Amino acid sequence: MTDTQQWWRHAVGYQIYPQSFFDSNHDGVGDLPGVQAKINYLKDLGVDFVWLASFYPSGHVDSGYDVTDYCGVDPQFGTLADFEELVAALHAAGIKVVIDLALNHTSAQHPWFRAARQSRTNPYHDYYIWQPSDGQTPPNNWQSVFGDSAWQPNPATHEAYLHSFATAQPDLNWENPRVQQEMVQIIQWWADRHVDGFRLDGVTHLKKRADFADVTDPRTGYYQNLAGVAPYLAALRPVLTANHLLTIGEAGGVDMTTAKQWLDPTTGFFDLLLEFDHVHFWEMAEPKLPVAALRANLTKWQVALEGHGWSALFIENHDLPRAVSYYGDAVDYPRRSAQALGMWYMLMKGTPFIYQGQELGLTNADFTRIDQYRDLDSCNYYHRQLATGAPVANTLKQLAAKSRDNARTPIPWTGKAYGGFSTTTPWIDMGPDVAQRNVERESHDPLSVLTFYQQLIRVKQSVPALQTGRYELIDTYDDQLYVYRRTYNGDNWLVMVNMSSQIATTQEFDLTASELILTNLLVDSDSDAQQIQPWEARLYHLRQLE
């Protein structure tokens, strides 16, 4: 593959969650013309491609990931003509377009499923996964990702269908070559509309245990890391390569051996994999981020993929809380920790993804009532917890820390009503501190998180060593510092981040002959070579190896 075809190796991506980006038609919901209205913002930020989260017509059960029509745009986001106009406008601005594709399931409202559930002889019946059912007892102990049994009775056929996510998201049967062919055609249909790539949703879910037996881990044991996904992915590969599409696999729980195979540039299926090994550390981040464990984990992946594949770098998306709240210090160091986290992950080896609002240092939503939540997973969790007798206050506290809605609040463009996102009440409440953290204010502040992200993007794009250079951890054997070097053709760069809210002391790095290129410490603060301030981040261009 030529370097031009591998444009994504030198690119910075930006994920847009259309519901919450910008509302152009004043109905409280963001939309595709709203994205178009903000192209100048994306240009100023400097990103090379956008990934648009699911915008297909849907049953609105799982925020667009329950698709009712794979070749359309949900009316709440606009029309197909709006989409085509948006793609053309983004391309004119030099920004490529990646779209989402939910491969594992459709909506229960999708015409395929409506037909499939009518009778066992319906031509679409075999598009889905069925087991005989008496309507009372689930066929086995498999559970859905969103809780409860993964089976839903279908009285018309005396069966139950599998849904590894919500009840309204029946799993497709990838054993069926017709399902594979449908997806091939859908990919071609969008390629004909000039998209540049796909983020393929939930690829680790596609293969299920064929024996339908009970499993030890009912949440993941029936689909995760089973042999047999490869033929399904191989069926998609020709249409993806023929159209030179960037392929990004969402691969929750993927093991490293599989990841290496799937990413192999000649025999693999994906250019980039979104694997989530590192984000689970946030669940252990109380009372303090386990920096040493995080260092070991990320280094393991960076080293394993060196020469074998390319990493996707990310700390946020629409399914995670805000990084400054889970990894950083949103109370004492909201600005500095947001910036430090940005430098820490973006300058590793791989293609960085920024999730909308991350570049503003947005924090968690701070919701205090269940009626503020919109996410199905969060609402289900709340009701399940209460049913087991868990106290309301405690459950709300857990949601405030981990709900997916934390990252789904609207983008504050200004400090005015509804953050200038809409002129009417948005579909979900705004996050906190809109007056402090918004695009208008941050774009005029040379010390803002937004300005720092702009600098990070420029440096990533302009320094070959920060793109292609080898990653080497410099282990500091502590629970505060994350230090690594990037090396390319004798050109060496050092990233040093204090990932704690306490001062850290470095080992004896001799940085005297090196140039400090970027830092998030205020210029008038004391910068000391040996003392690293809380959440201080430094990028050095090393003159020579120490």
Which residues contact ligand NOJ (rule: CB under 6 A)?
A: 62-63, 65, 102, 165, 201-202, 250, 318-319
Catalytic site includes residue 536: no
Of 17 and 327, nearer to ligand NOJ (C-beta) is 17
Strand arrangement, sheet containing 515-519: 470-473, 481-488, 491-498, 537-542, 515-519
Active-site annotation holder among 62, 250, 275, 377: 250
Q: How far is the CB of 201 from ligand NOJ (least distance, A)?
A: 5
Active-site annotation holder among 23, 74, 171, 201: 201
Of 112 and 418, nearer to ligand NOJ (C-beta) is 112
Of 365 and 463, nearer to ligand NOJ (C-beta) is 365
Q: How far is the CB of 32 from ligand NOJ (least distance, A)?
A: 19
Tell me how many degrees the CA angle 258-140-175 measures, rounded to the nearest 5: 45
Catalytic site includes residue 250: yes
Measure the CA–CA gap between 449 and 436, rounded to whole angstroms. 12
Q: 488 in helix, strand or coil?
A: strand
Of 29 and 483, nearer to ligand NOJ (C-beta) is 29
Phi, psi of 282 (to 5 degrees): -65, -30
Burial of 543 (0-12, 13-18, 19+ CB in 10 A): exposed
Helix (H) or strand (E) run with residue 15 in it:
strand 13-16
Of 83 and 146, nearer to ligand NOJ (C-beta) is 146
How do beta strands 491-498 and 537-542 pair?
A: antiparallel
Burial 146-184 (b: 16+ CB within 10 A, else e): beebbbbbbeebebbbbbbbbbbbbbbbbbbeebbebbb
Of 159 and 375, nearer to ligand NOJ (C-beta) is 375
Q: Are 344 and 498 in contact (CB under 8 A)?
A: no
Give the list of residues 6+ apart from residue 171 with CB closer than 8 angstroms, or none.
104, 105, 128, 129, 161, 162, 163, 164, 205, 208
Q: How far is the CB of 451 from ligand NOJ (least distance, A)?
A: 29
Q: How far is the CB of 65 from ligand NOJ (least distance, A)?
A: 3
Question: Which residue is closest to ligand NOJ by CB?
Answer: 65
Q: How far is the CB of 62 from ligand NOJ (least distance, A)?
A: 5
Q: How far is the CB of 3 from ligand NOJ (least distance, A)?
A: 30
Q: What amino acid positions are annotated as catalytic residues? A: 201, 250
